[in-house]
């Protein structure tokens, strides 16, 4: 058994979690406005394929990321149009779309399977990368990792500390009341859903151009969209807590790789699949612990109640509900 370097482990978690952080932040934005985007998994795969294909053909990482973001935004626009404007079931539209996008990604991406293409690589920040411990973890990373680290506080600040974020969350809680106060409810829901999809598209691009470079079947990103949906739910629809859930999943994936080296007699497929059920189990345990602790501390000290309120979360009241102004 080899000894793990803690700094390397933490740096690997930050790097490996970057696409998942982007995906959960995108889904959090969408669901905060009341729209469930179940196309997440298919969107990630299709964005990953398109991003790799464009980057491979053009030699431009920028165009690759732009293409992936555009695909994610278009997928979410379809979900938003059919669910927000036509009033169709958000769950049904998203589920059909994710299956369609998954098959389309593997069909159209077949010519690019197992090809070597452009990679983002590391972009160390001068001087900051030399800070002991923190430098290698946070300042010697790829561009998607930097973007994910910046977006976590930015999304939190926008949603909870700005008037626009407050109005947006009000629509997710009660679209009828927001409409009565003059808000263009359906347009706002639609465009924030598109914005969330753009981040999901960037997540897909980050997979094929950075984290799990290349394209193939199966793609290493497959199934990540469903995990991201679960993280958003059990993270209480809060950008910081969902990001922490993404880092936890990345930790489980990395430890699975190390366990594979420690126990070579166990089939590799076991360690590749294990992080998914382990993550779901961990999230369920955390959720149940939160509920039980909240009940036990209901009559406790004020600071304990404040901590539990910080850890807990609830779905927007208008989540998944179609709104018709007429």
**Model pLDDT for residues 196-240, shown as the tens digit of each residue:** 999 999 999 999 999 888 887 766 788 889 889 989 988 889 999
Does residue 241 lie in a domain region? yes
> Taking CA 42 as the corner, what is the angle to CA 37 and CA 44, rounded to the nearest 5 degrees?
90
Does residue 20 lie in a domain region? yes
Does residue 322 lie in a domain region? no
Instruction: Give yes or no for a cis peptide into 218 (omega within 30° of 0).
Output: yes
Give me the domain span that covers residue 221: 6-311
Does residue 326 lie in a domain region? no
Confidence of residue 185 (pLDDT cuts 50, 70, 90): very high
Confidence of residue 286 (pLDDT cuts 50, 70, 90): low
Cα distances (angstroms) measured from residue 64 to each of 55, 56, 71: 4, 8, 11
Does residue 22 lie in a domain region? yes
The pLDDT tens digits of the residues spanning 4-23 come to 488 888 999 999 999 999 99
Does residue 321 lie in a domain region? no
User: pLDDT at residue 278 above 90?
Assistant: no
Does residue 30 lie in a domain region? yes
Whether residue 116 contacts residue 137, with contact meaning beta carbons closer than 8 Å, is answered with no
Does residue 1 lie in a domain region? no
Report the domain count for the chain. Answer: 1
End-to-end Cα separation, the chain, in angstroms: 66
pLDDT of residue 16: 92
Q: How far apart are CA 83 and CA 96, in angstroms?
A: 13
Q: What is the average pLDDT across 297-312?
A: 55
User: pLDDT at residue 256 above 60?
Assistant: yes
Element (H, E) at 291: helix 275-296
Q: How far apart are CA 111 and CA 98, in angstroms?
A: 21
Q: What is the mean pLDDT of the chain?
A: 86
> Taking CA 4 as the corner, what is the angle to CA 21 and CA 245, rounded to the nearest 5 degrees?
20
């Amino acid at each position: 058994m080899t000894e793990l370097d803690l700094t390397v482990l933490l740096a690997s978690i930050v790097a490996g979690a970057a696409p998942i952080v982007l995906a959960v932040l995108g889904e959090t934005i969408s669901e905060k406005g009341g729209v469930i985007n179940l196309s997440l998994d298919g969107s990630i795969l299709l964005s990953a394929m398109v991003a790799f294909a464009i980057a491979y053909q053009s030699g431009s990482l920028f165009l690759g990321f732009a293409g992936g973001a555009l695909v994610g935004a278009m997928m979410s626009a379809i979900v938003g149009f059919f669910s927000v404007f036509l009033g169709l079931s958000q769950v049904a539209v998203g589920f059909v779309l994710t299956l369609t996008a998954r098959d389309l990604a593997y069909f159209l991406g077949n010519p690019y399977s197992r090809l070597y293409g452009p990679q983002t690589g590391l972009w160390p920040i001068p001087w900051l990368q030399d800070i002991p411990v923190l430098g290698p973890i946070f300042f010697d990373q790829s561009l998607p990792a930097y973007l994910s680290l910046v977006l976590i506080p930015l999304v939190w600040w926008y949603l909870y500390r700005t008037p626009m974020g407050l109005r947006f969350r009000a629509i997710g809680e009660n679209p009828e009341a927001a409409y009565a106060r003059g808000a263009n409810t359906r347009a706002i829901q639609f465009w924030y859903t598109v914005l969330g999809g753009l981040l999901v598209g960037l997540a897909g691009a980050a997979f094929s151009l950075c984290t799990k470079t290349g394209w193939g079947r199966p793609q290493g990103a497959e199934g990540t969209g469903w995990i991201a949906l679960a993280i958003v739910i059990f993270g209480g629809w809060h950008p910081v807590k969902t990001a922490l859930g993404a880092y936890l999943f990345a930790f489980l994936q990395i430890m699975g790789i190390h366990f594979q080296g420690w126990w070579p007699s166990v089939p590799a497929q076991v360690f590749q699949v294990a992080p998914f059920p382990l993550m779901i189990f961990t999230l369920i345990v955390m959720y149940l612990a939160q509920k039980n602790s909240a009940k036990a501390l209901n009559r406790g000290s004020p600071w304990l109640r404040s901590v539990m309120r910080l850890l807990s979360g609830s779905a927007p009241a208008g989540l998944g509900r179609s709104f018709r102004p007429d």
